[in-house]
Structure 1
Amino acid sequence: MTSQNAINWPAKYLPGTGDNFVSNEVIVAGVTAAQVWRFLIDTSEWERYYDNVADISFPHGGGPRLTAQLDFSFGTFGFPPLAAQVVEFQSPSEGVPGRLSWTAKQEGEPEQRLDVLHAWLVEDLPGGRVRVLTQETQIGRPAVALASERPNPMLNGHQAWLDGLVGAASQ
């Protein structure tokens, strides 16, 4: 029997308690967690393999590589740049999954407010395989609107991000 690691969720963002939740996962052979991790944490690579992100900046310096507690901002899904902060950062190593998560927020009137936790888990599996899991919980009226769309744009957008990430790491 094999068990798989899971995302570490702060209580505020526990899946099923927000207004929109999506989960995407790929398991592929021929690439390692370290190779995937390199492209995931380097925001200067994101726009090369994922077309739903723009305007990445680091208001307090740092970057383009994400690190623990780093503040950054980026635009996605038609939102103006969201203020984000890395809240979990653990590089993958032998027997230890890579963990990355950030909060992202949009302030403003109630109909505009959005509060998100986007989490990633990257782990090597037996047989030369890697597992990449990304999940996101969203809170706010914009999240309610996204959740009601069919197909769910978050689900499709995050799958494109996973596919592009694995593709970039495989080259």
Structure 2
Amino acid sequence: MSEIFWPADYVPGFTDNFCSNEVIVAGLTATELWPFLNEPERWPTYYSNAADVRFYDGKGPQLQAGMRFFFSTFGFPVEAQVVEHVPSIGGQPARVAWHGWSGDVGAPDRLDVHHAWLIEDLWGGRVRILTQETQKGAPARELAKADPNPMINGHQQWLDGMVAAARAAKA
């Protein structure tokens, strides 16, 4: 199976917080799931923790390499820039990742994240969705101590919602 590509400053284990969620389901493909991830305006329709999606510079509604966008999640207003964008073509895994931030540089409430996604078809008509996020800053240190972990639980809701939305669209 494929893995996430990490920028040097965001390698898991060397940041303040890390979460990883994965599902493997039968009956869907990476191509069928891709629009539900690649079009952020869809996120609030199946994931209650995403809101206020907007794009900059006349871009959107689909993500693309280098584009800036905004959304709210986990109580944070997140500015984001896509740093990796590879659609599922020819059986290759789909990949999207963004650097997200909230707060001013140097501020005590500054949060920086690298949020990466991988969607890959597996043998037997299955698909794997992996999302991992590393975080830096005081808010990340607080999130890492929370029990239950809001990042793990929230991202699992995102995955489950995406699968349900893709299944409903296919029906």
State the AA in 1 paired with 2:57. Answer: H
Q: Give the whole-Å Cα distance in 1 for the aligned partners of 2:153 and 2:2.
A: 23
TM, length-normalised to structure 2:
0.95
1:122 to 119, 126, 130: 119
* Maintained 8 Å contact 1:116/1:136: yes
State the AA in 1 paired with 2:100. Answer: A
Structure 1: 5+ residue stretches without partners: none
1:135 to 116, 121, 132: 132
Please report how far the alpha carbon of residue 94 of structure 1 lies from its aligned counterpart in structure 2 after TM superposition: 2.8
Q: Give the whole-Å Cα distance in 2 for the aligned partners of 1:138 and 1:75.
A: 16
State the AA in 2 paired with 1:88. Answer: E
Alignment of 1:86-97 (within 5 A): 86-97=82-93
Q: Give the whole-Å Cα distance in 2 for the aligned partners of 1:133 and 1:93.
A: 18
Q: Give the whole-Å Cα distance in 1 for the aligned partners of 2:2 and 2:165.
A: 24
1:44 to 41, 57, 63: 41
Q: What is residue 170 of structure 1 aligned with on the other side?
A: 167
Question: Per-residue CA shift, 1:115-166, capped at 9, x if unaligned?
Answer: 0000000000000000000000000000001110001100000000000011
TM, length-normalised to structure 1:
0.95
Question: Per-residue CA shift, 1:9-36, capped at 9, x if unaligned?
Answer: 1111001111010000000000000011
1:67 to 51, 55, 64: 64
* Maintained 8 Å contact 1:47/1:53: yes
Please report how far the alpha carbon of residue 111 of structure 1 lies from its aligned counterpart in structure 2 after TM superposition: 2.1
Q: What is residue 102 of structure 1 aligned with on the other side?
A: 98
Q: Give the whole-Å Cα distance in 1 for the aligned partners of 2:40 and 2:58.
A: 14
Please report how far the alpha carbon of residue 93 of structure 1 lies from its aligned counterpart in structure 2 after TM superposition: 2.2
Please report how far the alpha carbon of residue 53 of structure 1 lies from its aligned counterpart in structure 2 after TM superposition: 0.8
State the AA in 1 paired with 2:111. Answer: L
Q: What is residue 13 of structure 1 aligned with on the other side?
A: 10
Question: Per-residue CA shift, 1:34-58, capped at 9, x if unaligned?
Answer: 0111111011211100000111111
Q: Give the whole-Å Cα distance in 1 for the aligned partners of 2:89 and 2:36.
A: 16
Q: What is residue 150 of structure 2 aligned with on the other side?
A: 153
Deviating 4+ runs (over 4 angstroms): none
Work out the percentage of aligned pairs sharing the same amino acid.
56
